[in-house]
Structures are given as structure tokens and as C-alpha cells.
């Protein structure tokens, strides 16, 4: 996918306000998404082994969900756009800040380097969702070989209408680093890694480039009430958004005009 291409997300007006003010987007745990089958893709077992691990690596996978589809979708508006009362935003595919550090105790280290002092040189991975398989589990074989690349990458065909792309990042706990701290990386490995330390946070925020904010596109939900439209007007003014980049949904009653 070219960096100049746009990704789109249906969301609430409140979330838009957070994005504009903090210049960050939300990454949610894979287990917390609306597809009830995704959490089973992360189920771990070791067949034919004296070990038996029952956990869910979906707890350690965080994703930010977008769509490449330029066309509006009534289903997407209803499911994710605050029941048509929110907004659809568009941002360039290279929106993430490659120099962002989550915080002092949660450093981005591309190859799990515990002495890492520099932020990761590449941001979370952008992956295209494939809709060609069922919710098969991730398997750890008797030699402890993991195939974790499938986490957050596959959905059943029922979700194909979303045409989804995701930014994906993993969180790793390791006893060799400060207690209750995690390394965040676009890759997850098993060596020296403990699945026994659940992550309390249900989401994390990741920085986007300041330069992309001038390129944001906003479509107003078809059922956004007058009060929220006034609030959106204030956001447009406060953050100096080019009004040519804001428009009503094509499903909006023609009597409504921003």
C-alpha cells in the first residue's frame, strides 16, 4: 500500500477530538474487538507434550483498525460511527510517527533489545486483513515453535465488507526488565517470554505525525444531531481544519447543512 493512499475509520466525535488534541490513535487489545471469533485465534496449546499452556496471546496483541474503502458504508456507519452520529476520518497510510515512544517504561525495541535507548525505527506494522480462513487457533508444537504472525491477520469471510487494514503491535513482558513493564514491538517471539503476566491496559495510544493533521478528511455522520454539529464546528475552528476537507455524508438528509 502506498504511503500517499488514505485509510478510513468510522468513529465518534469524542474520539476525533482526542485525535486532534493529542495527535494519537488508539490501539485496542485483539481480544476486545467486536469479532467474537478473533480471540480464539489466539488460543495456545502444546499437543503431545508434557506441558500444557492455556492462555490467550490475543491479550498481548494490540491493533488499530481502518478500511481502505473510499466509499461510505451504511453498515460501517451504524456499527462504528456512533450509530451514524459520529464521523468518518481519513488519514494518510503513513500517519504513524516512527520516532514515538509509548512512555519511559514501555519502550519500542524492534528486536527486543532490553538496553534499547532509542525509539523503534519503524512504526507498528500495517497489515491487510485476509478473509479466507476460519478461526483456527495458533499452535505451539512440542518444540515450542510458534506461528504468531497469524494473530490479528485473518477474519472469516462474513467480515469481508470491511475491507480492513490494521496497524499491529505486540506487547512482551520479560522478567529481565522492570516489573510491570513491557516491550512493544512489531514482532513477538517466545524465548524468555512469559504469557503468565496479563496486561491490565485494554488499549494503548500511539503518536501520529503532526504533518498529517493538515491532510485529515472528515465526513459527518448522516444522523449527527445539531448539538454535536456545533461541537464539530468548534473543532474545525480550533484546529484550523481546511473546511474543504469536511463534508456531509452522502446519506445525510439534504435539509442538513454544516
Residue 117 placed within a domain: yes
What local confidence, expressed as pLDDT, does residue 41 receive? 60
The mean pLDDT value for 134-162 works out to 71
Give percent above pLDDT 70 in the chain.
65
Phi first, then psi, for residue 2 (nearest 5°) are -75, 145
What percentage of residues in the chain have a pLDDT greater than 90?
47
Q: Is residue 133 part of a domain?
A: yes
Q: What is the DSSP string of 52-113?
A: ----BGGGGEEEEEEE---S--HHHHHHHSTTTTSEEEEEETT-B-TT--SBTTB-B-TT--
Residue 117 belongs to what domain range?
A: 6-82+95-212
**Number of domains within the chain:** 1
Whole-number pLDDT of residue 30: 87
DSSP reduced 3-state for 224: coil
Lowest mean pLDDT among 53-57, 90-94, 115-119, 250-254: 115-119
| Residue 111 located in a structural domain | yes
pLDDT of 250 over the 90 cut: yes
pLDDT the model gives residue 257 = 60
Question: Is the pLDDT reported for residue 101 higher than 70?
Answer: yes
Backbone angles phi, psi at 208, to 5 degrees: -115, 160
For residue 152, the model assigns a pLDDT of: 84
175 in any annotated domain: yes
Is residue 239 one of the residues assigned to a domain? no
Average pLDDT over every residue of 109-125: 47
**Average pLDDT for residues 15-23, to the nearest whole number?**
97
More confident residue, 153 or 113: 153
Q: What is the pLDDT of residue 194?
A: 54
**Residue range 79-92: average pLDDT?**
98
How many of the other CB atoms lie within 10 Å of CB of 86? 24
Max mean pLDDT among 107-116, 151-160, 203-212 falls in 203-212
Split at pLDDT 50, 70, 90, the class of 195 is low
Question: If pLDDT is split at 50, 70 and 90, which confidence band does 94 have?
Answer: very high
Q: Which among 4-18, 147-161, 193-207 has the top mean pLDDT? A: 4-18
Q: Is residue 244 part of a domain?
A: no
Q: How far apart are CA 107 and CA 111, in angstroms?
A: 12
The pLDDT value recorded for residue 5 is: 94
Of 10-19, 67-76, 200-209, minimum mean pLDDT range: 200-209
Residue 243 lies in a domain: no
Please name the residues in contact with 44: beta carbons below 8 A apart, sequence gap of 6 or more: 53, 54, 55, 56, 57, 137, 138, 139, 140, 195
The better pLDDT of the pair 241, 102 is held by 241
Between 60 and 113, the more confident residue is 60
pLDDT at 227: 96
Report pTM.
Answer: 0.81
Q: What is the mean pLDDT of residues 227-246?
A: 97
Record the cell numbers describing residue 157, joined without a space: 469471510
Specify which of 58-62, 116-120, 206-210 reaches the highest per-range mean pLDDT: 206-210
Residue 253 lies in a domain: no
Amino acid at each position: 500500500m502506498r504511503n500517499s493512499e488514505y485509510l478510513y475509520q468510522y468513529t465518534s466525535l469524542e474520539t476525533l477530538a482526542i485525535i486532534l488534541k493529542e495527535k494519537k490513535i488508539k490501539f485496542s487489545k485483539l481480544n476486545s474487538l467486536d469479532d467474537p471469533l478473533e480471540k480464539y485465534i489466539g488460543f495456545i496449546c502444546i499437543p503431545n507434550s508434557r506441558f500444557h499452556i492455556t492462555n490467550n496471546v490475543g491479550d498481548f496483541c494490540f491493533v488499530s483498525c481502518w478500511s481502505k474503502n473510499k466509499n461510505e458504508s451504511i453498515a460501517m456507519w451504524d456499527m462504528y460511527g456512533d450509530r451514524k452520529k459520529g464521523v468518518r476520518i481519513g488519514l494518510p497510510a503513513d500517519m504513524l510517527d516512527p520516532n514515538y515512544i509509548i512512555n519511559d517504561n514501555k519502550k519500542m525495541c524492534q528486536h527486543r533489545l532490553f538496553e534499547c535507548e532509542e525509539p523503534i525505527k519503524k512504526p507498528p506494522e500495517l497489515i491487510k486483513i485476509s478473509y479466507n480462513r476460519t478461526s483456527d487457533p495458533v499452535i505451539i508444537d512440542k518444540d515450542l515453535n510458534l506461528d504468531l504472525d497469524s494473530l490479528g491477520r485473518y477474519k472469516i469471510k462474513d467480515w469481508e465488507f470491511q475491507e480492513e487494514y490494521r496497524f499491529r503491535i505486540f506487547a512482551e513482558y520479560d522478567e529481565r526488565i522492570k516489573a510491570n513493564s513491557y516491550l512493544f514491538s512489531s514482532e513477538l517471539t517466545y524465548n524468555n517470554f512469559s504469557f503468565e503476566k496479563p496486561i491490565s491496559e485494554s488499549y494503548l495510544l500511539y503518536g501520529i505525525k503532526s504533518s498529517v493533521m493538515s491532510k485529515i478528511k472528515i465526513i459527518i455522520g448522516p444522523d449527527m444531531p445539531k448539538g454535536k454539529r456545533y461541537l464539530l464546528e468548534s473543532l474545525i475552528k480550533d484546529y484550523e481544519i481546511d473546511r474543504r476537507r469536511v463534508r456531509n455524508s452522502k446519506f445525510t438528509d439534504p435539509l442538513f447543512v454544516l
